[in-house]
Structure 1
């Protein structure tokens, strides 16, 4: 079994459950701009808000739309819940001295608000939307996280729940574990966990076990 040097986590859908808030604010965006919310949600998960909005709105409307979206998301961050077992699992990693990074398509203020809402302390490294030139599915975020942790990305274990993030993790050279039910050709052959309680109940199955 491969021994990993660090754990790199996506945030939304992987560490925190923000589905309700995310869908509500995108529904508002669609309503304001006369867009189809179904089309937006089909591509928004795991992507930076700015990258998603650019697909649907003219360039001169993007900045204002992104600012309004982020303000609404931060205002509803208190409704965020942890993915089952996430708090205990991450705490266990840090107790064992395993470096932990969060690599998210959210802005830094939103990421900090959601992590704070569920009681997750800021990780050793937090890479957010503004830290990279290219968001997921590009590997930039995971490569930057590995660099800041001082580890080889090929020795990292990436936890992801969405198509864009799976591609980003794989392209970085890391080993990707799928959290939850996302299924696509990109996930074929990848290890999958329902949530972190699965790893807590069976420590021998933990990919980052000592």
Structure 2
């Protein structure tokens, strides 16, 4: 077990909102394979893509790096199909399954930049339950760092974002949670690139304690 300190959150919350990739599960192996293959097929260096793709919608990343004249929506569908087909090396973050199985089903949600089919595929591969409330890429007009996804999830759970705790791992998601008005905790176990988060951080779910009201 990690020797990192336990984070005690004194404020109680009405609901908990989780990002998926890098937060509930580690999918770095798949993400690395897919984006490297896509970059190579388009004559792009994968390093700049990998540096910003984490936590963002596929279409937003493709739009940022596609060659002029590329059909962005078609390329996004191709990338997502590659991701759906590849689940090798996906596993749950320590303590994630134990935590979410203890939470009432109407008190937690997943807010992910992945599409719904991909989200279900990865959660299943990691052995995690599918939430009753899940806000995916298709359900928002603007992806993270826009706060729309977290605000929508809070409403669907019958509360407001300022009464929710968010677990995230990437800068775009942390910004989205903060802009929504949530308290945010960064999970570091599957962080692909080092950065200084603008919120408390903890290794995994075995090292954090909080309460619901």
- Taking structure 1 as the reference length, what is the TM-score of the superposition? 0.90
> SS at the partner of 2:165?
strand
Question: Cα offset for 1:124?
Answer: 2.6
Q: How does 1:1-210 map to 2 (within 5 A)?
A: 1-57=10-66, 58=68, 60-94=70-104, 99-180=107-188, 184=195, 187-188=197-198, 190-199=199-208, 206-208=209-211
Q: Which runs of 5+ in 2 are unaligned?
A: 1-9
1:203 maps to what in 2? Answer: none
d(CA) in 2 for partners of 1:138, 1:66: 19
Question: Cα offset for 1:159?
Answer: 0.1
Contact between 1:99 and 1:124, CA under 8 Å: does it hold in 2?
no
Q: Which runs of 4+ in 1 moved over 6 A?
A: none
d(CA) in 1 for partners of 2:30, 2:152: 28
Contact between 1:49 and 1:105, CA under 8 Å: does it hold in 2?
yes
Change (3 A) 1:59 1:169: farther
Contact between 1:5 and 1:98, CA under 8 Å: does it hold in 2?
no
Q: Which has the higher contact order (CA 8 A, sep 6+)?
A: 2
> SS at the partner of 2:16?
strand
Contact between 1:29 and 1:65, CA under 8 Å: does it hold in 2?
no
Q: Deviations over 1:74-103 (max 9, x none)?
A: 111253110111111111223xx6611000
Give the stretch that moved more between structures: 55-64 or 119-128.
55-64
1:202 maps to what in 2? Answer: none
Give the stretch that moved more between structures: 73-82 or 106-115.
73-82
> SS at the partner of 1:79?
coil
